[in-house]
A and B are shown apart, each in its own frame.
Chain A
Amino acid sequence: GENVEQHPSTLSVQEGDSAVIKCTYSDSASNYFPWYKQELGKRPQLIIDIRSNVGEKKDQRIAVTLNKTAKHFSLHITETQPEDSAVYFCAAVRNEKLTFGTGTRLTIIP
Chain B
Amino acid sequence: DADVTQTPRNRITKTGKRIMLECSQTKGHDRMYWYRQDPGLGLRLIYYSFDVKDINKGEISDGYSVSRQAQAKFSLSLESAIPNQTALYFCATSQAGGEAFFGQGTRLTVV
- Is B33 within 8 A of A98, CB to CB? yes
What is the interface of chain B mostly: helix, strand, loop, or mixed? Answer: strand
Report the bound CA distance from A46 to B59 in whole Å. 22
* A46 and B42 form a contact (CB under 8 A): no
Write the chain B residue with the least CB distance to A1.
B59
Number of B residues near A (Cβ < 8 Å) is 24
Q: Is the CB of B102 within 8 A of A43?
A: yes
Q: Which of B61-69, B74-82, B92-100 lies at the binding interface?
A: B92-100
Instruction: Scan residues 72-110 of chain A and give those whose CB is less than 8 A from a CB of chain B.
Output: 89, 96-103
Task: Looking at the assembled complex, report how far the CB atom of B42 sits from the nearest CB atom of chain A, in whole angstroms.
Answer: 4
Q: Which residues of A contact B41 (CB under 8 A)?
A: 102
**A44–B97 CB distance below 8 A:** no
- Per-position binary interface string of chain A over residues 23-52, scored 1 when its CB falls under 8 Å from any chain B CB and 0 otherwise: 000000000101000000011111001000
Name the residue in A1, A9, A42, A98 with the highest tally of chain B Cβ atoms < 10 Å from its Cβ. A98
A-B contact count (CB 8 A): 46
B86 CB-CB contact with A under 8 Å: no
A97 to B50, CA, bound (A): 10
* A99 and B45 within 8 A (CB): yes
Residues of A within 8 A of B105 (CB): 43
Known: A100-B42, A100-B44. A45 touches B102 (CB 8 A): yes
Which residue of A1, A42, A46, A101 contacts B100 across the interface (Cβ within 8 Å)?
A: A46
Query: In the complex the two chains form, is A44's CB within 8 Å of B40's CB?
Result: no
Q: Are A97 and B48 in contact (CB under 8 A)?
A: yes
Contact between chains at B102 and A101 (CB < 8 Å): no
What is the bound-complex CA distance between A42 and B103, given in angstroms? 9
Binding site for B on A (CB under 8 A): 1, 6, 9, 32, 34, 42-46, 49, 89, 96-103
Other A-B contacts than A32-B97, A96-B97, A100-B44, 14 sampled, CB-CB below 8 A, are: A1-B59, A9-B40, A43-B102, A43-B103, A44-B43, A46-B100, A49-B99, A89-B42, A89-B43, A96-B50, A96-B94, A96-B96, A98-B33, A98-B45
